[in-house]
C-alpha cells in the first residue's frame, strides 16, 4: 500500500501546525505521523493520544518500556527502531532495551512487571491479564497507572498498525536501530 509521506509543505493546511510542533519537539516528523498529513482530524487524534500518554504519571523510561513491549509484541520493525532511538534519551538502560528487543523482560522487577502487563494487554486485548495486573500493582504501580498503560497500548497499536500496514521505511534517525523480529525476538 502506497501513501505519501508528507512534509510540512505537502500536508493539508490544517495539519501544518502539527508538523511544526512535532518538528520543534523531535527535530523531525517521523514517517508514522507524516503519512497522516492529508488527514488533519486523524493526525490531530493521533498526536493527541501520544500527548495524553506523554502526560501520564509514568516516567519517560517507563513509557518507553510500554512502547517497546507493545511494538515487539506487534512485530513492528518501524516502532521498535524508533523507540530504541528514543530510549536512551528517556533514561532506559541499554541492557533493558536489548532484552526487550529480544522478546525478554528488562532485568528490573518493576520494569519487568510493566513490560509483561503492557505485552499481555496487547496480545490478549485486556482479557486474561489477572496475573500480570496483580504483578503490576504489586510492583508499586497504581490502578490509575493501569489506565495510563492502556492509553500507551492504544497509541502504540495505532502506530504499529500504521507502520506495519504501510511497510513504512525507517526515518534516517531510526536506521541505526533497525530491528528484524525474525532474528531478535525469535
Residue-wise pLDDT for 27-56, tens only, equals 999 999 999 999 999 999 999 999 999 999
Confidence grade of residue 184 (pLDDT, cut at 50, 70, 90): low
Question: Count of domains in the chain?
Answer: 2
How far is residue 31's CA from residue 77's CA, in Å, rounded to a whole number? 13
Residue 120 within a domain? yes
Claim to verify: residue 91 and residue 131 sit in the same structural domain? yes
Range of the domain at 67: 60-184
Claim to verify: residue 67 and residue 91 sit in the same structural domain? yes
Per-chain mean pLDDT for the chain:
94
How far is residue 9's CA from residue 7's CA, in Å, rounded to a whole number? 5
Claim to verify: residue 49 and residue 67 sit in the same structural domain? no
pTM of this prediction? 0.93
Q: What is the pLDDT of residue 88?
A: 86
How far is residue 136's CA from residue 134's CA, in Å, rounded to a whole number? 5
108-165 pLDDT, tens per residue? 999 999 999 999 999 999 899 999 999 999 999 999 999 999 999 999 999 999 999 9
Residue 35 within a domain? yes
C-alpha grid cell for residue 79? 516502532
Residue 159 within a domain? yes
Confidence grade of residue 186 (pLDDT, cut at 50, 70, 90): very low
Of the chain, the percentage scoring pLDDT greater than 70 comes to 98
Q: What is the pLDDT of residue 185?
A: 53
How far is residue 87's CA from residue 73's CA, in Å, rounded to a whole number? 17
| CB contact at 8 A, 146 and 117 | yes
Amino acid at each position: 500500500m502506497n501513501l505519501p509521506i508528507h512534509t510540512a509543505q505537502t500536508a493539508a493546511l490544517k495539519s501544518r501546525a502539527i508538523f511544526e510542533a512535532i518538528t520543534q519537539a523531535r527535530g523531525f516528523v517521523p514517517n508514522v505521523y507524516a503519512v497522516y498529513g492529508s488527514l488533519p482530524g486523524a493526525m490531530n487524534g493521533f498526536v493527541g493520544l501520544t500527548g495524553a500518554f506523554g502526560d501520564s504519571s509514568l516516567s519517560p523510561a517507563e513509557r518507553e518500556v510500554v512502547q517497546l513491549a507493545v511494538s515487539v509484541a506487534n512485530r513492528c520493525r518501524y516502532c521498535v527502531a524508533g523507540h530504541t532511538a528514543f530510549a536512551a534519551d528517556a533514561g532506559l538502560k541499554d541492557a533493558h532495551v536489548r532484552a526487550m528487543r529480544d522478546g525478554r523482560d528488562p532485568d528490573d522487577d518493576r520494569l519487568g512487571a510493566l513490560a509483561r502487563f503492557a505485552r499481555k494487554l496487547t496480545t490478549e486485548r485486556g482479557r486474561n491479564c489477572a496475573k500480570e495486573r496483580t504483578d503490576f500493582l504489586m510492583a508499586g504501580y497504581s490502578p490509575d497507572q493501569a489506565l495510563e498503560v492502556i492509553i500507551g497500548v492504544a497509541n502504540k497499536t495505532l502506530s504499529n498498525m500504521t507502520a506495519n500496514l504501510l511497510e513504512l521505511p525507517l526515518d534516517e534517525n531510526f536506521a541505526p536501530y533497525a530491528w528484524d523480529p525474525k532474528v531478535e525476538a525469535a
